Structure 1
Amino acid sequence: MTTDLDKQARIERHKTIRAGLWFAALLIVVAVLFGVYRFVTAPVRVAQNTTQTITRTVEETATAVLTRRHIEVREGRRFGRLADRAHAILVALPQTQPATLRERSFRLAHLRGSDSKVCQFEMDFGAGPVPVWVAADNHDYEKNRELGGEGERQIRIVFQTTDNSLGLSAQYARDGDAPGWALLWRRRDSLTKPISDSVMSERAMNALFRIPQDCSRSPQ
């Protein structure tokens, strides 16, 4: 009887040991499979993390660039009234073809979207007359109107010097809580800002003021 009990106990111990070994083997297999999974999916996780990092960097950079482009205008209401009137005049200008190949290249580089509706006059800032070019972005404006919108408007102002040119953009948008006109540096000029924001703000205001009287081809 005792022998049978001992034999039965040994069998139970062997079963327990085998079960333990099987469980340990299962844990090892699971660990190996998990390691393989981590190894295989590592590039995906790295790519996801990289994408998220790049997205955050792009958003932060875009915000910084936009902030640097933006020019504070002290007389905001007057600036808005001048821009409203100037835009109405510029979009009503007749089309004029460039007189020279150089002028054609200048328009393409600095007044894109004008549809050949441009106005040019001179301003003197103390060092002699400087040509000033102004034009509305008629292409985007008309496209927006065709789609049923009226909000987005843009006026490009370019001060042309012998060696260089400085560009500004007066933009109106209905997006956000406070729609209205804003003054921005042209992207390429916002990187260096050779002239202070306050000076360029005043010059932009003067240029907008001159449009009704100097763009004589437009209806008054």
Structure 2
Amino acid sequence: MIENYKNIKVIGFDADDTLWVNETYFREAEAEFSKLLSEFETPNKIDQELFKKEIGNLTLYGYGVKAFTLSMVECALELSNNTISNEKIEEILNIGKKMLNKPVELLDGVEDVLEQLSKKYRLILATKGDLLDQERKLEKSGLTSYFHHIEVLSDKKETNYSKLLKHLEIAPKEFLMVGNSLKSDILPLVNIEASAVHVPFHTTWAHEMASEKETNGKHYKTISTLRDLLKLLS
């Protein structure tokens, strides 16, 4: 086994865009929202204002589809100077409902990787977002049986992970986190001296991106697909 991972007892997995498709649906929803509001602003301006509204609402609404839907409604009211029709507000709500009813599309190799690793390690799901929505997706995924513990975090910062490790009664050196977001799944773990493996997804929310300055000098592995994790830990 690679030296860095010899002490690992627990492996944490992010959910959205690590185990299953998620961000793609947000991009589709944003395009639909932009089309709905085309009479009020340009697509670029709509995208910018919606992003600002989402970031501004994070401390109130948190993450997930429901928070995103509320931000769309608020953004529509502001961009239209409160003239947007009830019918269009209903259409915006329906965009959110369609997102919540999307099928769970597993990424390549996910179940095989979890099945093999669960024989040797304690696996946990560590994700953020709306509790009800994440529980729904996990149930639809058929992956529940592979996880010893499931944690839906309000955020993914050093303090959140430290509390999680304390709850699991393990030291940072015994924990490995796997995820697609440098900002949420990788850097906070490196900063508390745990291990992390980055599995990039082709689409990333701007809020989850990390600059070269933030990642410079940080020690973590990057792999192309989740299947490579098996090689890394062999």
Higher relative contact order, structure no. (Cα contacts within 8 Å, ≥ 6 residues apart)? 2
Q: TM-score range by the shorter chain?
A: under 0.3
Under a length normalisation based on structure 2, what TM-score does the superposition of the two structures give? 0.25
- For the pair shown, the structure with the greater C-alpha radius of gyration is 1
Under a length normalisation based on structure 1, what TM-score does the superposition of the two structures give? 0.26
